[in-house]
Amino acid sequence: MMPNPHASPSQFLRGLFTAAIDSARPDKILAPYVPSASSGRIIIIGAGKASAAMAQVIEREISAEISGTVVTRYGYAVPCEHIQILEAAHPVPDEAGLLASQKILQDVSALTKDDVVLCLISGGGSALLPYPSDGLSLAQKQAINQALLQSGATISEMNVVRRHLSNIKGGRLAAAAYPAQVINLIISDVPGDNPQDIASGPTVADPSTCDQALDILQRYQIAVPDNIRKALENKALESIKPNDDRLSRVTTHIVASSQLALSAAADLARQAGITPMILGDSIEGESRDVATVLAGIARQVRHYGQPLTAPCVLLSGGETTVTVKGSGKGGRNVEFLLALANALQGCHNVYAVAGDTDGVDGQEEVAGAFITPDTLDKAHTLGLKPLAYLDNNDGHSFFQALDQQIITGPTLTNVNDFRAILIL
């Protein structure tokens, strides 16, 4: 029933994860979007974990003379001849990201209507473009970003704040490039694929408001300097809104997404004789809560053949959150899996994998992990207490001890999280 008759269920699930990643690799998706030659200059800019790989493809595919700057995560750079590739920190921004942001803004200044800006955006771009609003230091922006990451706020909520505390996000980069034509090529890593949420929307309109940013900061008790709070209250930090003339020459293409990745995994499952069901590409919520719900669905399939019969695989994407209360090496995908294993309690013939398609779950250089029906038994044999690891947000340490981690290294793409539950 498997593509490889000797593959184990865990190997099969890893194959689905690989198929999802491969479907979003820049060298497989970008060529149809390369623009024809321009009468003016062609400037390449970008930010994100896939942006350097995207730039490399553009250099290979485009025949015209090009220049520009792209910033990616440390360790994700690939060689380019005409496009400067810079590296910076993710998920908490650093000085290198600030300098890269300033360089990118400089690249698009003083352009004409004959010029074309090709903007390559992917997940992680928000942290890589940390150009704080006037009156906000980089250290203060880092603290706010770190607090947001630990607060349990959704990615959309975090990005509302980020767009209003920036000199480059929330459409400001596109406004700086006007009157040049701006073509956005975006690999989406956010639920719903809304361009304003991908890298906090540096080259698209932002309909959210300063009032909404304030509300989010208050809801999650995120401290900001008094001068910034007053600037938000006075609407002095408002972003670029829809119908702004400076965005009139912007075109946006979503070239890869979680849905496309899930579809690729579903196709591979069908080839193996396993019925796939895509539950959703934009599932959000606390990782452990999502795990409880999906465990319930898996048990319903296993015991009653509803809503489909085994063998089948439940596929989902999106971005869950973790409200950090412990001191462990967490990560939303391993937290999901640890909670799922606890909820399933060794349910017979149920296996699962979860990982971040960029190869980094949380702040660890580990993509994710997998569980089997005997995961809890193995843990108890080793003297591990799964619930204690869950309470400490320490999923990475748990799966490392079990040798059930998935380590891919930099994948050079990012279409958010991938989850698959196999029921045999």
CATH code for position 88: 3.40.50.10180
Tell me the backbone φ, ψ of residue 423, rounded to 5 degrees.
-120, 120
Residues 160 and 225 in one domain: yes
Are the CB atoms for 413 and 256 separated by under 8 Å?
yes
What is the rounded CA–CA span in Å between residue 348 and residue 373?
A: 6
For residue 144, what is the DSSP state?
Answer: H
Residues 264 and 252 in one domain: no
Q: Residue 66: which of 32, 86, 37 has the closest Cα? A: 37
Residue 3: inside a domain: no
Residue 312: inside a domain: yes
Query: Helix or strand or coil: residue 86?
Result: strand
Q: Residue 314: which of 290, 335, 286 has the closest Cα? A: 290
Residue 382: inside a domain: yes
Our count of domains for the chain comes to 2
Q: What is the pLDDT of residue 17?
A: 98
Residue 289: inside a domain: yes
Residue-number span of the structural domain to which 42 is assigned: 26-256
What is the rounded CA–CA span in Å between residue 177 and residue 190?
A: 25
Ranges of the chain with pLDDT below 50: 1-3, 5
Residues 69 and 216 in one domain: yes
Q: What is the pLDDT of residue 161?
A: 96
Q: State pLDDT tens for residues 37-61.
A: 778 999 999 999 999 999 999 999 9
Residues 280 and 385 in one domain: yes
Please identify, among 227, 256, 285, the residue that sits at the C-terminal boundary of a domain.
256
Domain at 277, CATH number: 3.40.1480.10
Residues 141 and 106 in one domain: yes
Please identify, among 256, 271, 303, the residue that sits at the C-terminal boundary of a domain.
256
Residue 312, token pair as written in the block:
């089948």
Q: What is the pLDDT of residue 122?
A: 95
Residues 250 and 265 in one domain: no
CA distances from 186 to 47, 65, 85, 265 (A): 10, 22, 18, 21
Are the CB atoms for 384 and 342 separated by under 8 Å?
no
Q: What is the pLDDT of residue 21?
A: 97
Q: What is the pLDDT of residue 100?
A: 98
Q: State pLDDT tens for residues 201-239.
A: 999 999 999 999 999 999 999 999 999 999 999 999 999
Residue 195: inside a domain: yes
CA 396 to chain centre: 19
Residue 2: inside a domain: no
Residue 99: inside a domain: yes
What is the rounded CA–CA span in Å between residue 236 and residue 232?
A: 6
Q: What is the pLDDT of residue 4?
A: 56
Query: Helix or strand or coil: residue 61?
Result: helix
Residues 108 and 250 in one domain: yes
Residue 197: inside a domain: yes
